[in-house]
């Protein structure tokens, strides 16, 4: 499964279409439950992911998944050095 961390569903969908992800191969990280329900998923941070309205709780879920080794790769598509796991920094 591919999880797309973006500020909106529209942004996640655009990224998925551009990368030829098929329906069912990806989900938008809209809340921490998506992370918990998809262990070992690969995460793509797309531009403006920092603006996700539930960022703080999603970052906590991603950090827990990473620490328990239940997370695949995390790819920053934008190439910026974001502050994953450090909300408000």
* pLDDT tens, residue by residue, 33-55: 999 999 999 999 999 999 999 99
Share of the chain above pLDDT 90, in %: 81
The structural domains of the chain, with segments of one domain joined by +, span 2-76
Average pLDDT rounded to a whole number, residues 62-76: 92
pLDDT above 80 for 67:
yes
Q: Residues 41, 79: contact at Cβ < 8 Å?
A: no
- H or E segment and range at residue 5: strand 2-5
pLDDT score for 78: 76
CA angle (6, 12, 17) in 5-degree steps: 150
Q: Residues 59, 31: contact at Cβ < 8 Å?
A: no
Q: What is the pTM (predicted TM-score) of this model?
A: 0.84
Q: Residues 1, 27: contact at Cβ < 8 Å?
A: yes
First to last CA, the chain: 29
């Amino acid at each position: 499964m591919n999880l797309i961390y973006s500020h909106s569903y529209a942004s996640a969908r655009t990224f998925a279409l551009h990368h030829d992800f098929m329906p069912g191969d990806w989900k938008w990280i809209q809340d921490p439950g998506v992370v918990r329900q998809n262990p070992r998923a690969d995460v793509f941070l797309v531009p403006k992911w920092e603006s996700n309205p539930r960022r703080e709780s999603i970052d906590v879920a991603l950090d827990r998944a990473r620490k328990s080794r239940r997370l695949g790769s995390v790819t920053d598509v934008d190439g910026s050095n974001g502050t994953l796991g450090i909300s408000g920094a």
